[in-house]
Amino acid sequence: MAKKEKTAKTNNELSDAELKQQQDLARANSLQGKNQPLVTNIYTADPSAHVFEGKIFIYPSHDIETDACTNDDGDQFAMRDYHVLSVDSDTGTATDHGVALSVDDIPWAEKQLWAPDAASKNGRYYFYFPARDYNGIFRIGVAVSDNPAGPFKAEENYIKGTYSIDPAVFEDKDGSHYMYWGGIWGGQLQNWRNGQYDADDVYPADDEPAYAPLVAKLSDDMLQLAETPKAILIYDENGDLLCAGDNDRRFFEASWLHEYQGKYYFSYSTGDTHKIVYAIGDNPYGPFTYQGVILNPVLGWTNHHSIAKYKDQWFLFYHDSSLSQGQTHLRCVKMSELTHDENGLIKTIDAYR
């Protein structure tokens, strides 16, 4: 005890980041039982949930231990395969269906299998995922299966016209599928100018519009983009585009789209301010108007989510780093009920309360 008191840093000696991590960890530990990790046999993150064949399936990243250094490019997220999870509606327990796709079986991808998503059409299942190609550039690929749990077989090449990360696929009422994607920093949106990759990072000035996420309709066979990607415009309450310096509200990564009572909700992570926020529009392309926070910061740096309806109840799927006692690159997926109020606004969730 005496030794511990001698070596431990006092709160005054901790950096702000260390202090925040300690406080978050203490809060997470004191609330064990609130939302538990869905699986504990592996580390999982970036959960994209869908109801397929009457059951909730979750398509997460599979976090692993790594020697790669931690940096703003996200080299510490060195994932090499994907597992699919499903949730038993009676018991709420999740099943890990094992490896659904490995980087060794993706001809164009070298490393870093980041946040994926899946879609279904005519009894087949399509798995969309970002990875770095052999030039170090993030692209988005697709793999196909007859089973929602996989295994999936990857196409030979990435989807033409795609770059950056975090695909999310939304099926509209008419059966059309739209893919949303993009991310800054490690997500490389800041490296694309006029359709060309440039290794130099260029960001807008703080008072200029922030980098926009992208959307494109998918082709009938679900394997290509059916159109040139369009920028998603997100406006504030005054009708101005969110600016790059508006770190509390501007797009960073983790796109998701859901429809509620005829309105389209585009949600995303604010990255360095660690929130999941949302904006509402009248159609899948937007424009969207910023509304507020869905999920306050969780334990760990990243915040990434999905939203799905199961048996008349809406759920938020998210992750935090509680399973690894706060290690940002070793996360665990969780779920929580989500509520739209009588005006269609989403009640903010605090994972610690």
Annotated catalytic residues are 46, 253
Measured from the CB atom, the residue of 185 and 352 that comes closer to ligand FUB is 185
Element (H, E) at 18: helix 16-30
What is the pairing mode between strands 313-320 and 305-310?
Answer: antiparallel
Question: Which of 74, 55, 87, 68 is closest to 115 using CA atoms?
Answer: 74
**Shortest Å, Cβ 319 to ligand FUB:** 7
Position 304 contacts ligand FUB (CB under 6 A): yes
Segment 176-235, which members bind ligand FUB (CB under 6 A)? none
Cβ-proximal residue to ligand FUB, closest one: 114
Element (H, E) at 19: helix 16-30
Residue written as tokens 């099926």?
171
Q: Which of 255, 302, 306, 321 is in the footprint of ligand FUB by CB under 6 A?
A: 302
**Shortest Å, Cβ 304 to ligand FUB:** 4
Measured from the CB atom, the residue of 236 and 272 that comes closer to ligand FUB is 272
Segment 114-173, which members bind ligand FUB (CB under 6 A)? 114-115, 165-166
In this structure, how many other beta carbons lie within 10 angstroms of the beta carbon of residue 336?
15
**Shortest Å, Cβ 210 to ligand FUB:** 16
Give me the 20-49 binding string for ligand FUB, x by CB under 6 A, dash otherwise: -------------------------xx---
Position 277 contacts ligand FUB (CB under 6 A): no
**Shortest Å, Cβ 227 to ligand FUB:** 24
Q: How many residues bind ligand FUB (CB under 6 A)?
A: 13
Distance of alpha carbon 160 from alpha carbon 80, whole angstroms:
22
Segment 250-269, which members bind ligand FUB (CB under 6 A)? 253-254
Measured from the CB atom, the residue of 275 and 304 that comes closer to ligand FUB is 304
**Shortest Å, Cβ 70 to ligand FUB:** 12
Distance of alpha carbon 252 from alpha carbon 68, whole angstroms:
23
Position 276 contacts ligand FUB (CB under 6 A): no
Distance of alpha carbon 37 from alpha carbon 100, whole angstroms:
20
Position 77 contacts ligand FUB (CB under 6 A): yes
Residues lying near ligand FUB in the complex (CB under 6 A) are found at 45-46, 61, 74, 77, 114-115, 165-166, 253-254, 302, 304
